[in-house]
Amino acid sequence: MNDSGFYKCACENCQGHLEFPAHAAGITTTCPHCGVETKLIAPKAVTAPARSASPPPPPRPMSEVQAALPPPEAPSAVKLTQIDPPATGSKSKRGLKIIGIGILAVSLIAWFGWRIARGYRKAERAVESVGSTNLKPATVPKGERASPAPIPVPAAPPTSVILAKGAPPARVAGADLQVLNYEIHKAKDGNLQYIVGVVTNHSARQYFNVKLEFALTRQTGTTGDRATDMLRNLPASVGSTFKVNIIGITPVTGATLTKVEGEKE
């Protein structure tokens, strides 16, 4: 703003000079030169150039700088403290502790070794006792496969009596499954009756779900009753015992094997 309170600017259309009061800055008016509306724009304030900073003072001579520094202090004396060597008693204690741990470890190893050796000896004796009871296998001609050793029918327990012994049929040529022998038992206490015997797998492959079926003859002479049992797994070349429970309290005087079959692996 000048001293009289007026500004000057140029018309936006014809660049003609316009003079207007300061309070009219920013309004739109009609230019007296060209008749086109233009905006009155106040001139931007002109800022004075910044004053340059005064140059830094020249560096002082090194002699003056050193003279201005305070005198150095004398180094303080360093006190050394002697470290006493460790007492011999602590070393001996550590040595005794290590020796004790070693003796304990050796004792534990020896104890475990004794237990393992004892278990092996028990297993060897069990194998020898089982091997001594096995029957000597018969000599098999070359090219033929040996049949599994026969397994005797389990002896009647003290709690049961034998009612009758069965007569298993002869093995069919080429048949894998064969019932060797069986017996009819009755419990001494109660009326429970069951058939126990041995079934053998002559095949080199195992069988699953081996089903046994017997036709029963009662003391009254009636027939037609059936008793069945199933073995889930019968390994190859192995004989296994079975137990077939009999339903009913009428004493059974005989049982005939009617079926032995299974699923071959």
Higher local confidence (pLDDT), 82 or 64: 64
- Is the Cα dihedral 49, 50, 52, 54 positive or negative? positive
Output the CA angle 225-229-232, nearest 5 degrees: 160
Share of the chain above pLDDT 90, in %: 31
pLDDT over 60 at 205, yes or no: yes
Higher local confidence (pLDDT), 151 or 10: 10
d(CA 215, CA 130): 36
pLDDT over 60 at 228, yes or no: yes
pLDDT at 223: 86
Q: Does domain 160-264 have CATH number 2.60.40.1150?
A: yes
pLDDT at 120: 74
Q: Which residues pair with 186 in a beta bridge?
A: 161, 193
> Is 198 exposed, middle or buried, given 0-12, 13-18 or 19+ CB atoms closer than 10 A?
buried
- Average pLDDT rounded to a whole number, residues 248-252: 91
d(CA 173, CA 190): 41
pLDDT over 80 at 23, yes or no: yes
Three-state DSSP string of 113-135? HHHHHHHHHHHHHHHHHHHHHCC
- Average pLDDT rounded to a whole number, residues 148-173: 76
Query: In which region does residue 35 sit, left (phi positive, over 0), alpha (psi from -120 to 50) or beta (all else)?
Result: left
Q: Six-digit token pair at 134?
A: 């096995």
- Domain layout of the chain by residue ranges: 6-39, 160-264
> Which of 92-101, 138-147, 219-228 shows the lowest mean pLDDT across its residues?
138-147
Closest to 156 (Cα-Cα) out of 131, 184, 133, 132: 184
> Which of 19-28, 59-68, 104-113 shows the lowest mean pLDDT across its residues?
59-68
In the sheet that 177-187 helps form, which strands lie side by side, from edge to edge? 160-165, 177-187, 193-201, 238-246
Query: What separation in angstroms does the CA of 111 have from each of 100, 123, 124?
Result: 17, 19, 20
For residue 140, which amino acid is it?
A: V
d(CA 150, CA 238): 9
